[in-house]
Amino acid sequence: MNAYEKAGVNIAAGDTVVKNLQAQLQQLNGSNVLGGLGAFAGLYKLPAQQQPVLVAGTDGVGTKLLLAIQSGQRTTVGQDLVAMCVNDVVAQGAQPLFFLDYLAVAQTQPDQVAELMQGIVAGCQQSGMALLGGETAEMPDMYAAGHYDLAGFALGVAEQSALLRPQRVQAGDVLLGLPSSGLHSNGFSLVRQLLFKEHAYQFSDNPAALAGANLLDTLLTPTQIYVQALLPLLQQKLVAGAAHITGGGLLENVPRMLPAGLQAQINLGSWPQQPIFDWLCDLGHLSTTEAYTTFNMGLGMVLALHPADLKAAQQQLAAQQQDFYRIGVIKPGPATVDLVEAG
């Protein structure tokens, strides 16, 4: 054992992780990736564009990771990482190109790293992105035994004229909501507070409020990736604006796609409610404002469409087997969300 290993860092384990990834990346990455793992930086040849604009996003998974760490189920949080980054990129109107990951661990255990990478590779495949490279940092004094953290970076490209900017949204535009797969990766500090601190639920529970579904499986359901559903709409210039519903929920994220002087009217009850949100709201006695600024409440992406483009967009979404719901309209007013109660 050398001095570095005595300090708690296993270089051989890190080398094993890299070798295990080589075969996966050869299948995932296309001809735009120049070289492979082992260089000091990844190389990517940009596709031809007339006025290219690079669109970048970076994010993490948040305290949802604690559930993966405590349960030992690590295979899905990598997809959460990719989704949180790439959904932001596509919401700006860009085609995702490649992804970089950063994994920090207390100790490098190749099998555990492979499970984490399984989700990252799956997310890149769903997004049509290359996994250009990344970093696995072993820091035994930084993290408690068994703990780790994930961060990611996605880069895409768009023609400058095709970028989704607030000034493209107009009064009278129709709002379509694309359903989430569940909680995605936001609000988990409150989730953990309600379920495991204020109430003694266990990962193995199958609560009646969830129609008997397993609690851990419900919480760790990976974030939906919307790239394949949105790219055909973007290529045909059918989308005026898009909002990825992450931290801050509908009330804080939808206004990010609005220009001054326009408001989003969203009709509550216009999309199916998922049991997890109703249950959490009941447990926490959350007000409507609290719920809609903490959780996505069943919608992971909201699109603004000019009425003339609505039918074509709906046809494209149906062709992609992407569910959608007509949830509201853009109207004059402050750049906020007006939640309208049904009835």
- Kindly state whether residues 154 and 256 are assigned to the same domain: no
How confident is the model at residue 38, as a pLDDT? 65
- Kindly state whether residues 171 and 319 are assigned to the same domain: yes
How confident is the model at residue 19, as a pLDDT? 60
- Kindly state whether residues 157 and 231 are assigned to the same domain: no
- Kindly state whether residues 64 and 144 are assigned to the same domain: yes
Per residue in 282-293, pLDDT (tens digit) is 999 999 999 999
The C-alpha angle with vertex 166 and arms to 163 and 170, in degrees rounded to 5, equals 110
- Kindly state whether residues 172 and 307 are assigned to the same domain: yes
The C-alpha angle with vertex 36 and arms to 16 and 25, in degrees rounded to 5, equals 70
- Kindly state whether residues 202 and 315 are assigned to the same domain: yes
DSSP code of residue 39 = B
Distance CA 20, CA 295 (A): 37
Q: Which of 132, 162, 192 is the last residue of a domain?
A: 162
How many other CB atoms are there within 10 angstroms of residue 162's CB atom? 17
Q: Which of 105, 128, 162 is the last residue of a domain?
A: 162
How confident is the model at residue 315, as a pLDDT? 97
How confident is the model at residue 44, as a pLDDT? 79
- Kindly state whether residues 171 and 119 are assigned to the same domain: no
Question: Residue 51 belongs to a domain with what CATH number?
Answer: 3.30.1330.10
pTM passes above 0.85: yes
How confident is the model at residue 25, as a pLDDT? 58
Tokens 């600024």 belong to 293
Question: Residue 251 belongs to a domain with what CATH number?
Answer: 3.90.650.10
**What residues pair up with 96 in beta bridges, in sequence order?**
156
- Kindly state whether residues 38 and 181 are assigned to the same domain: no
How confident is the model at residue 29, as a pLDDT? 65
The per-residue pLDDT string of the chain (343 residues; one tens digit each, 9 = 90 and over) reads: 544 455 454 544 555 555 665 556 556 666 677 766 666 787 878 888 889 999 999 999 999 999 999 999 999 999 999 999 999 999 999 999 999 999 999 998 889 999 999 999 999 999 999 999 899 999 998 999 999 999 999 999 999 999 999 999 999 999 999 999 999 999 999 999 999 999 999 999 999 999 999 999 999 999 999 999 999 999 999 999 999 999 999 999 999 999 999 999 999 999 999 999 999 999 999 999 999 999 999 999 999 999 999 999 999 999 999 999 999 999 999 999 999 987 6
Distance CA 297, CA 287 (A): 13
Distance CA 32, CA 44 (A): 5
How many domains does the chain divide into?
2
**Domain extent for 123:** 3-162
How confident is the model at residue 90, as a pLDDT? 98
Please name the residue ranges forming H helices in 29-109: 64-71, 77-91
